[in-house]
Amino acid sequence: MKLKKGFVLREVCGENVIIGEGLETVNFNKLVNLNETAALLWKKATELGDFTVEALADALMETYEVSREQALSDVEALTAQWKEVGLVER
Percent of the chain with pLDDT strictly greater than 70: 89
Whole-prediction pTM value?
A: 0.86
d(CA 72, CA 76): 6
**66-71 average pLDDT score:** 98
Q: What is the per-residue pLDDT across 10-52, written as a single tens digit (0 to 9) for each?
A: 998 999 999 887 645 555 555 689 999 999 999 999 999 999 9
CB atoms within 10 A of CB 44: 18
> Could you tell me what percentage of the chain is helix, strand and coil, using 3-state DSSP and rounding each to the nearest 5?
50, 20, 25
d(CA 50, CA 25): 21
